[in-house]
Amino acid sequence: MHMRFHPIPSETARAYRNGAPDAYGNLPERMICDSPGNPCRHCLGHITQGTEMLVLAHSPFGVRQPYAETGPIFLCPDDCTRYDPARGVPPIYDDRAMLIRAYGADERILYGTGAVVAPGTLAAECAARLTADNVAFVHVRSATNNCFHMRIERAD
């Protein structure tokens, strides 16, 4: 199955960098990256430890409803190149376990589709869920903190 791995849109990242309020109405915070593993949700690469990053609340859903989770994300503080959704699994996800969940077209979780998937199995696990007709997309989240990382869809 062909899939696309979607980071947050460039317009969204640009707005946050220019001071747009986050999902809770707060300005993005500027912090120093204190870990070698904080991934930017736009370029889907690691933010360099010791450099500045943005931290903000983000909800990757179109409307507010009970299943529309909001949580913290990291962004490079300056423009970065958006990850190309057609490139497959971003390399930084090859060696980490991730939480995945499938959603219907109404943006609600499809029960029984969530799992923490082992390193190296992300693409196969997402493809397995996307074969079901009622699955519109899959979210990839941190297995330890539940933070949103990216959205995966079938490629046309």
- 40-49 pLDDT, tens digit each: 999 999 999 9
Residues 96 and 128 in one domain: yes
Residue 64 has pLDDT above 80, yes or no: yes
The alpha helices in the chain, defined as continuous H runs, are 10-17, 122-130
CB 150 within 8 A of CB 7: yes
- 19-53 pLDDT, tens digit each: 999 999 999 999 999 988 799 999 999 999 999 99
Give the H or E element holding residue 37. Answer: none
Residues 89 and 147 in one domain: yes
Of 15, 47, 75, the last residue of a domain is: 75
The alpha helices in 1-150, defined as continuous H runs, are 10-17, 122-130
Of 18, 43, 75, the last residue of a domain is: 75
What tokens appear for 101 in the block? Answer: 């969940």
Question: Exposed, middle or buried, 108 (CB in 10 Å: 0-12/13-18/19+)?
Answer: middle
Give the range of the structural domain holding residue 125, as residue numbers without chain letter.
85-154
**What is the average per-residue pLDDT within 73-79?**
97
Spell out the residues 6+ positions from residue 14 whose beta carbon is closer than 8 angstroms to its own.
79
Domain total for the chain?
A: 2
**What is the average per-residue pLDDT within 141-149?**
94
Question: Whole-angstrom Cα distance, residue 45 to residue 79?
Answer: 13
Q: What's the confidence (pLDDT) of residue 112? A: 95
Q: Is the residue at 97 inside a domain?
A: yes
- 85-144 pLDDT, tens digit each: 999 999 999 999 999 999 999 999 999 999 999 999 999 999 999 999 999 999 999 999
Closest Cα to residue 125, out of 142, 146, 136, 140?
A: 140
> What's the pLDDT band for 1 if we cut at 50, 70, 90?
confident
Q: How far is CA 26 from CA 21, 58, 72, 106, 122, in A?
A: 5, 11, 12, 27, 33
Residue 75 has pLDDT above 90, yes or no: yes
Question: pTM of the prediction?
Answer: 0.94
